[in-house]
Amino acid sequence: MNREDERVVEGMKRQSVLRESSLADAARLGWKSGFGTEGAMELLGVTQPLTGFLTTATLAEPGSVVEVDGWGMPLLEAEVAVRIDREVGPDATPAQAASAIGAVAAAIELVDLGSVESVEEILAGNIFHRKVLLGEFVDLAESGLEDVRISVDANGAESGPSDPREVIGEIGRVVADLADQAELIGESFRPGDVVITGAAVPPAPVQPGERYRIGLNSDSEVSVEVG
C-alpha cells in the first residue's frame, strides 16, 4: 500500500503544507487521483494511485478559457468526477467507497507535467495540478457506476463513448485508495467532497486555440478553450 511507502508519506506531509496555504484563501473542494493506470503505477513503483487535493482556487467555470502560456508541458485529462455523500475513511473497501458516491459529472483537469523522477516531489507539488472544470452532477442511476461512459470531443473530432474502468479500474477502488492516503495527513473524504478519478483516456497535449468537450452518458458535459 502507498501509505507504507516512505516517499508517499513524506510527499503527503509536504503536500499538506501547500494545501493549508491554499485553504487560507479558498474553500475545500475535494481530491484528485494521479498516475492511476497500471503503467503509470509501475513507472513510479507504487501500488495505488497518488492522492492530490482540490480547492476552489483552481476551479474554473465550464466553457471558460484557460491560459497555458508559460506552462512547460500542458496536458488535458478527461475524467469522471464523483460526489461523496457519506464519509470514506482509510479502512473503506472499494464496495463501501462506491456506495458512498451519490453523483457523477464530466470533468476536465489541466496539468503542467514535470519531472516524474521523484514520487515525493510529485506529491509535494500536488501532482502537477493547475485547473479543474466540472460539469453538472447527475445522481447515479440504479445500475450505479458500471454504466458510466465517457466521450471526448477534441476540436470537433469526437471519440467514445468508452468505459473509464478500462483505463483507471473500478471507481470505487480508486476512491478507497485515495482516501487511504488522505489519512496520512489526518483527513478523510467528507460528504460534499468532489473527487476527480484520473484520466479516463490518455492525456492529450494542448495548445492555445484548441477546444475540448467531455461528456458522460449524454447527461453531464463540460468544455474548455485553451488560451
Cβ neighbours of residue 152 under 8 Å, at least 6 residues apart?
A: 78, 158, 159, 160, 201, 212, 213, 214, 215
Residues of the chain with pLDDT under 70: 142-143
How crowded is the C-beta side of 50, counted as CA atoms within 13 Å? Answer: 31
Domain residue ranges in the chain: 2-226
The pLDDT of residue 115: 97
Q: State the pTM of this model.
A: 0.97
Residue that the C-alpha cell 471507481 belongs to: 171
Whole-angstrom Cα distance, residue 8 to residue 142?
36
pLDDT tens per residue, range 13-67: 999 999 999 999 999 999 999 999 999 999 999 999 999 999 999 999 999 999 9
The pLDDT of residue 143: 58
The pLDDT of residue 15: 98
Whole-angstrom Cα distance, residue 36 to residue 34?
5
Which CATH number, 3.90.850.10, 3.30.429.10, 3.40.190.10, 3.40.1390.10, labels domain 2-226?
3.90.850.10
HEC per residue, the chain? CHHHCHHHHHHHHHHHHHHHHHHCCCCEEEEEEECCCHHHHHHHCCCCCEEEEEEHHHEECCCCEECCCCCCCEEEEEEEEEEECCCECCCCCHHHHHHCEEEEEEEEEEEECCCCCCHHHHHHCCCCEEEEEECCCEECCCCHHHHCCEEEEECCEEEEEECCHHHHCCHHHHHHHHHHHHHHHCCCECCCCEEEEEECCCCEECCCCCEEEEEECCCEEEEEEEC
Q: What is the largest CA-CA distance in the chain?
A: 45
